[in-house]
């Protein structure tokens, strides 16, 4: 984890303990999307057809759970890149409730149906594995397979990590937490250690479930990811 630290992550652990019976981060039964963010309503500048494609491939933390169409990770990351003068198209390939197994099954379909070969895939799955108590060995194997597939296709990756909640115990954490840094090292991909870094400890940045970021929280995530995305994109972008 980055600056959030283990002490602050305990807050997330308590929330997960309360919400584990749901068995998934973002079920299919979602309340209506929020449309309160006036800034999100601004018309985004047109993106050229040949702009580099970035696919954000993850679960509800990527999908924009309970958020408006312009408030999720993909649109906010695209906006953050634009503010830095970097033109890129960020595609939302997040599915609420997805486990690593589900992501592994749909990865080839998403890549095969992309309008262009991605310049980068941002990969972030595993939170639902943790909520469901799926064995870390399965989580590792599925993420490993996805990274291997992306490497075979010569697609750069930015891997975003997750941490096991403290209430799951040290045995689980000792197996789950090393998955992300070890796979990032194995495949030599860019790595953002904790997707909710600097967000989960601030209630003003989280939805009422204390599991998902609100629009302002997603903005913090997007701003944290933007420099790593920019480093991975072609200079011409």
60 in active site = yes
Tokens of 73: 């990770």
Q: Exposed, middle or buried: residue 94 (CB in 10 Å: 0-12, 13-18, 19+)?
A: buried
Residue of 8, 34, 144, 209 marked catalytic: 209
SS3 state of residue 48: coil
Residue of 96, 190, 212, 237 marked catalytic: 212
Within its chain, how far is the Cα of 168 from the centroid? Answer: 21
34 in active site = no
| Whether 139 contacts 179, CB under 8 Å | yes
The CA distance from 49 to 46, in Å, is: 9
Q: How far is CA 78 from CA 57, 86, 134, in A?
A: 14, 9, 33
Residue 60 half-sphere exposure toward CB, CA atoms < 13 A = 23
137 in active site = no
**Cβ neighbours, 10 Å, residue 77:** 26
| Whether 78 contacts 44, CB under 8 Å | yes
Residue of 37, 59, 60, 129 marked catalytic: 60
Instruction: Just list the catalytic residues.
Output: 60, 209, 212
């Amino acid at each position: 984890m980055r600056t959030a630290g283990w002490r602050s992550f305990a807050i997330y652990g308590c929330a997960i303990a309360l919400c584990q019976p749901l068995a998934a981060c973002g079920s299919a039964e979602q309340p209506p999307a929020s449309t309160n963010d006036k800034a999100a309503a601004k018309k985004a500048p047109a993106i050229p057809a040949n702009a580099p494609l970035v696919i954000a491939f993850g679960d509800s933390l990527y999908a924009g759970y309970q958020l408006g169409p312009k408030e999720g990770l993909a649109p906010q990351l695209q906006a953050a890149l634009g503010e830095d003068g970097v033109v890129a198209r960020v595609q939302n390939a997040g599915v609420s409730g997805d486990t690593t197994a589900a992501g592994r099954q749909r990865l080839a379909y998403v890549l095969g149906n992309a309008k262009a070969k991605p310049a980068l895939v941002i990969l972030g799955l595993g939170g639902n594995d943790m909520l469901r108590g799926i064995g870390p060995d399965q989580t590792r194997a599925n993420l490993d397979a996805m990274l291997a597939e992306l490497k075979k296709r010569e697609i750069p990756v930015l891997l975003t990590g997750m941490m096991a909640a403290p209430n799951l115990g040290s045995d689980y954490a000792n197996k789950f937490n090393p998955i992300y840094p070890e796979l990032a090292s194995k495949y030599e991909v860019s790595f953002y250690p904790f997707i909710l870094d600097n967000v989960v400890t601030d209630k003003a940045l989280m939805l009422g479930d204390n599991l998902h970021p609100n629009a302002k929280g997603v903005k913090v995530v997007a701003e944290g990811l933007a420099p790593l995305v920019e480093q991975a994109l072609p200079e011409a972008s």
